[in-house]
Amino acid sequence: MRPEDHLLQDWRASALRIEQEVAKAIIGQHDTVRMINVALFARGHVLLEGDVGIGKTTILRAFARAVGGDFERVEGTVDLMPGDLVYHTYVDAQGKPRIDPGPLLRRGEQLTTFFFNEINRARPQVQSLLLRAMAERSVAAFDREYRFPHMTVFADRNKVSAGRSLRARPLPGPCSLAESRRGSQVKGGAIAPAHRASVGALEV
């Protein structure tokens, strides 16, 4: 057997182990889990579309636990500024101003799953910073460069009329093993945690 065949077998075994771990938190949605897993191994990013409450955060947290990394989530709002992704300013109990790392920085290189909820509500400057972080997997702040070598970005743009379904599309950046600018589209039903069962369909 050729060395590359052994490597492919190792990758396949790792991918199956991740899916088995995710299945401990999610019932059904095997095809949706498989396509998200493909995005992880292809070093891509994913756009999720669906109504509120279908379990996007649940499945992404499950993937973060399965790969052994950290999870961060940001809510897109019209007043969100690019700096809010990098740092957080506040006044402490003693009345002194403080600066803490923002969601992109606080986990460091342990960040593997970054979920930007309702990205369509964020202003273009915020989206521009996110696109740069996706492409370079790094951000310059506080006179140094922060790197996120294992980060996968998941973005969501909720629509009231979308119904209780999940759609996953490639975000800009490498998202397919075959071609860097192409990926798959997934349609599925509501993602259910382990105490509920809901199985969706896959269309590619």
Do 199 and 189 form a contact (C-beta atoms < 8 A)? Answer: yes
pLDDT for 51: 72
Q: What's the pLDDT band for 85 if we cut at 50, 70, 90?
A: very high
Q: What's the pLDDT band for 149 if we cut at 50, 70, 90?
A: very high
- CA–CA separation, 184 and 203 (whole Å): 9
- Where do the structural domains in the chain lie, given as residue ranges? 3-193
Query: 138 vs 201, which has greater pLDDT?
Result: 138
> How many angstroms separate the Cα of 126 from the Cα of each of 25, 76, 106?
32, 9, 18
Do 115 and 72 form a contact (C-beta atoms < 8 A)? Answer: yes
Q: Is the pLDDT of residue 201 over 80?
A: no
pTM: 0.75
Do 113 and 65 form a contact (C-beta atoms < 8 A)? Answer: no
- CA–CA separation, 19 and 5 (whole Å): 21
Residue type, 65: R
Spell out the CATH class of 3-193: alpha beta
